[in-house]
Amino acid sequence: MEDQAVCCYRHPQRETGISCTRCERPICPECMISASVGFQCPECVSGRASAGSGASAAGPPPRAAQPRTLVGGTMASDPRLITKILVAINIAVWLAALSAGDRLVNDLDLVGRAYDPGTVQIVGVAEGQWWRLVTSVFLHQQLMHIAFNMLSLWWIGGPLEAALGRVRFIVLYMLSGLGGSALSYLLAAQNQPSLGASGAIFGLLGATAVLMRRLNYDMRPVIALLALNLLFTFTWSGIAWQAHVGGLVAGTVVAYGMVHAPREKRALVQRGTCVLVLLAIVAMVWIRTVQLTG
In terms of Cβ atoms closer than 10 Å to its own Cβ (0-12, 13-18, 19+), residue 125 is buried
User: Residues 186, 192, 195, CA angle at the centre, nearest 5°?
Assistant: 85
Is 198 one of the catalytic residues? yes
Alpha helices in 53-142 (DSSP H): 81-100, 102-108, 132-135
φ, ψ of residue 193 to 5 degrees: the values are -80, 150
55, 62 Cβ separation under 8 angstroms: yes
Nearest to 252 by CA among 211, 207, 222: 207
End-to-end CA distance of the chain: 67
The total of other beta-carbon atoms located within 10 Å of residue 121's CB is 10
Q: Counting runs of H as helices and runs of E as strands, what totals does the chain give?
A: 10, 6
CA dist list (Å): 186 to 41, 115, 170, 173, 254? 46, 18, 24, 20, 20
Q: Which of 19, 152, 176, 244 is catalytic?
A: 244
Q: What is the dihedral of CA 150, 68, 219, 226, to 10 degrees?
A: 30
Q: Which long-range contacts (CB under 8 A, 24 or more apart) does 45-50 make?
A: 48/22
Q: Which residues are catalytic?
A: 198, 244
